[in-house]
Every structure is written in structure tokens, then in C-alpha cells.
Amino acid sequence: MGFPDFRASAIEWSMQPDEFIVPDDPSKLRDLVGVLMSELKNRDIKITDLEQRLAGMNRHRFGARSENADQLNLTLENAEIAATMVAPDGAEAVELTDIADDDAPRKPKRKPLPDHLERNETVLTPSSDSCGSCGGAMRRIGEDATEELEYVPGRFIVNRIVRPRYTCGGCERFAQAPLPSRPIERGRPGPGLLAHVLVSKYADHLPLYRQSQIYAREGIDLDRSTMAEWVGKSTTLLTPLAEAIARYVKRGAAIHADDTPVKMLSPGNKKTKTARVWTYVRDERPWASGDPPAAWYEFSIDRKKLHPVGHLDGYLGWVHADDYAGYNDVFGAGKASEMACMAHVRRKFVDILDGTSSATAEEAIKRIAKLYVVEKIAKGKTPEERVALRQEHAKPVFDDLEAWLHEILPRYSGKSPMAKAIGYALSRMKKARAYLENGSLAIDNNSAERAVKPVALGRKNWTFAGSEGGGKA
């Protein structure tokens, strides 16, 4: 009898096994078995791949909860911060383009500071009791009092700055001590309170509307929009410091680079799009440098390569980075040098081990762990000592791992997760080998990953940036 295409027959048989007739011809039967084996192999690969993806999604899932109406507060908060950022020349840096005029928040009316707060009074008097013009005696005719809300750890206080006004009895000349410099001119917050609000928002991940609720329990009425104005003006004050940190980081012999996604409200349609926060870290503590560590952050509305290229323009040192193609133009002749991350290599095998309990993945992880044992010993030693340790103890392990991966790669289908993990490892290990000969390099990029962790934690609370200006703030 005529026999149909074996692949089609195999598919039909899988759907209707009772109707399938096994051929009597041994050669045709062998062909059919080959087709079925191929189908089963492809299915196994697909199932393994799906299991890996599911395991990874379950492991990395954050389980964020929608805050519904609170998200409006977050949108306004970020927009208001951006609106109060002032350019160096005094011009407004950002406009509230993503909030309709009808929705623009009204500036709250300033209320007196509560009477129950502790008050520290400082009296500022002119430098001389005599008139600077005629030498006559000055007499007090009144005073101006400025109240500044301040925060010290654990409590609020009020700094009461009293400036008596004096006039000369002879020539009626007026004299009064000047008001000391303050972070926000004509503003009420003291530097300690501003620092507390900023740390609570960006380090402790408390949105301003939540801070407002916390302060209300202490009898302090601080409106969210008021604090948003403070934060916006503070970011303007801190811009020179951020720029100085960027210059300091780029003076390092080696830096760590990474980025993390954040949601940003898209102007006009009230939908969100994916923006990025980039971090560049200088951390020389592992090789006994006396220079302090620092992290430099940048915000962008997308992940185009022009951002890291622009950030690292002119940098000629080493950059620890992942395999993101956007970094490719950062490296090359007359540019920075690339150092790959062995933690990313290890993570590929961890994903497989979690999903399938693969013996090969377990062996790869054990071999990589031996490299980290050497790093634990090398931590805090000079670059020369680190190189000596790595050459003696880490290089043989590194070489053996690379040779072993080349040896086992042909055993796996090119589409299988294991083959992909091995291929990734081999490609990245070529660019990670430099750490064996350079004591100022790290084995991984964990310093940058630790630096972006606060952003990842914070976005669960503030959900999204209200605008590009809010993201930069």
C-alpha cells in the first residue's frame, strides 16, 4: 500500500494512535522510528526550555501589588518634583507637560508650625551697638522672626531665628543682622529635614504621600506637594555634587556598569513605557585602595546605546559589564576595555539546575565556585598579591573549566538550554580572562548589581516616574 510522509504520519499518529497502521517493511519502519525519535527529541528540548523559563519567572517574580488610587499621588509627586528643578541660569528646567492644566495641583496655603514643638531660639544682632554712620547709640524698635522646621533623629524641632531691628537715635539709620544662608530661600525646611525627606524617599523607598501620612501622626502638617517642591529644589542644589561624583567615578582604573528598567509615564496618553536607570560604580576596596567607593546614576527614557556611550565618553579604563550589545561601542581601540562577569555565567547554569537538576549544570557551578574561593582569599590584598594568587590557584581552574565546556558542548542540541548556557559561558570567558592578570579587576559585576538594587526595591513603592524630569530628579 502507499505510505504517506513519515513526519506527517507521526503527527497523525500522535493525535489518533488507534487509526495508525505500523508499516511491515523494516526499512520504512526504521525511517518512521527515526522520525518519531526526532519529534520526541524536539519536544523534550521545547519542554526543557519552557521549564527553564517557568522556573526563572517563578524565582524572579516580585509579586508587586497595584496601589490603584495611590498611583495618582505618585504621578503628581514625580511631576511636581520635576517642575521645581531649576536650571543653573535660573530658568525653569522642566514643564508639567504630562499633567493637564485642569489637573495641576494647587499650592497649599502655609500654616503656622505647631506650638507643641521644641523651639531653639537664636538671636542675631548687628556687629556693633553704635550707628555705622554717625556713631550714635542704636535702640531696638522691633524684630523679625523666621521659623525653620528642622528634624533631628527621632523628633522634629523648630529653629527660631530672631533678628532684632535697630535704629539710630541720632540719624535714624536702620540696622539688622542678615538672615543666614538656607538651602531653600524663603522656604521653611532646615537642612536636616531636607536630608531626612530625601533619604526616606530614595534610600528607604517611602513616597512623599506616605511620608506626609507619617508626619501627620506627629501633628506635623506637611503636604505632599510641598515636599515635592522641596525635593525638586534639593535636586538642583545637589546637581554639582552628582556631577563631581561622575567625574570621580570616571577617574577610577576600573568601573562597574549596569542598568535596570523603570516605568515612566508617557506624555499625553497616561500610559507607561520602559525607561532605564544606569549606574556606574567605582569600588577599589577589594584591592586595598584608599579611595572611597562611589556610585553614579543616570536616567534615560530608553535603552539605546547612545546613553552608555555618552556617559563613558573619554573613559579609557576597564568596564565590568554584562553582554548588552549597547556597550559594544564603549569598547575598542582608544576606548575602554571590557571585563565580562562570571556571575552571569554562573547564573545560566543555576537557572538550569533549578529547573531540571542537571548534573552538568551542577558540575559547572562547582567549578565556578572554586574561582570564588580564590577571590575570597584575594579580597583586600594589593593588586600584585591578587594577581599572584589568581595565577597560582584560579588560572588552572579557569583553564580546566573552559576546556571542559568545549568538550561537552557537542553532546547537546544547539537549541537546548544547556547548549545555550555553555555557548554563553565560552563567549564571555574570553572577555573575563583579563582578571587573572590584572589585580584591579573583579571576577564579576556584583558591585554594580548591588548599586541598582535600591532602585529595584524602590520601584515597588513608587511604581513609575511621572516624567523624564522626575526620573532625572
Per-residue pLDDT of 343-378, as tens digits, reads 999 999 998 888 777 899 999 999 999 999 999 999
Q: Of all helices (H) and strands (E), which one includes residue 215?
A: helix 208-216
Q: Report yes or no: 255 and 249 within 8 Å, Cβ to Cβ.
A: yes
| Cα angle for residues 232, 150, 199 (degrees, 5° grid) | 50
pLDDT at 86: 61
Q: Of all helices (H) and strands (E), which one includes residue 338?
A: strand 337-339
Q: What is the pTM of this model?
A: 0.72
Average pLDDT of span 244-265? 94
What is the SS3 assignment for 391?
A: helix
pLDDT tens-place string over residues 199-240: 998 888 888 999 999 999 888 999 999 999 999 999 999 999
| Cα angle for residues 74, 80, 82 (degrees, 5° grid) | 105
pLDDT at 473: 65
Report the alpha-carbon distance of residue 9 to residue 23 in Å, rounded.
11
pLDDT at 397: 97
Q: Report yes or no: 265 and 466 within 8 Å, Cβ to Cβ.
A: yes
Quick count: other Cβ atoms within 10 Å of Cβ 430?
11
In the chain, what's the furthest Cα-to-Cα distance?
A: 130
Higher pLDDT: 100 or 33? It is 33
Choose among 8, 72, 59, 60: nearest CA to 36.
8
Higher pLDDT: 63 or 447? It is 447
Q: Grid coordinates in use for 230? A: 522641596
The total number of residues shown for the chain amounts to 473
Partners of 263 in beta bridges: 274, 464
pLDDT at 392: 97
**14 pLDDT band (50/70/90 cuts)?**
very low
Q: Grid coordinates in use for 340? A: 565580562
| Cα angle for residues 49, 53, 59 (degrees, 5° grid) | 145
Percent helix, strand and coil across the chain, each to the nearest 5 = 50, 15, 35
pLDDT at 8: 47
Average pLDDT of span 137-154? 86
Neighbouring residues of 460: CB distance < 8 A, sequence distance ≥ 6 = 62, 64, 205
**Torsion of Cα atoms, 379 then 382 then 388 then 394, to 10°:** 20
Neighbouring residues of 196: CB distance < 8 A, sequence distance ≥ 6 = 151
Q: Average pLDDT over the chain, rounded to whole?
A: 83
Q: Grid coordinates in use for 432? A: 573575563
**310 pLDDT band (50/70/90 cuts)?**
very high
pLDDT at 428: 97
pLDDT at 82: 66
Task: Answer whether residue 427 shows pLDDT above 90.
Answer: yes
Higher pLDDT: 102 or 471? It is 471
Q: Report yes or no: 243 and 227 within 8 Å, Cβ to Cβ.
A: no
First to last CA, the chain: 77
Report the alpha-carbon distance of residue 432 to residue 430 in Å, rounded.
6
The residue whose grid cell reads 535702640 is: 139
Report the alpha-carbon distance of residue 297 to residue 287 in Å, rounded.
23
pLDDT above 90: percentage of residues in the chain: 48
Q: Report yes or no: 165 and 142 within 8 Å, Cβ to Cβ.
A: yes
pLDDT tens-place string over residues 449-465: 999 988 888 777 666 66
Burial of 74 per CB tally in 10 Å (0-12, 13-18, 19+): buried
Among the listed ranges 10-19, 269-278, 320-329, 383-392, which one has the minimum average pLDDT value? 10-19
**24 pLDDT band (50/70/90 cuts)?**
confident
Task: Answer whether residue 436 shows pLDDT above 50.
Answer: yes
Q: Of all helices (H) and strands (E), which one includes residue 143?
A: strand 138-152
Q: Tell me the pairing of strands 294-300 and 318-320.
A: unpaired
pLDDT tens-place string over residues 158-197: 999 999 999 998 888 889 999 888 899 888 899 999 999 9
Burial of 432 per CB tally in 10 Å (0-12, 13-18, 19+): buried
Neighbouring residues of 168: CB distance < 8 A, sequence distance ≥ 6 = 131, 133, 134, 136, 137, 138, 174, 175
**138 pLDDT band (50/70/90 cuts)?**
confident
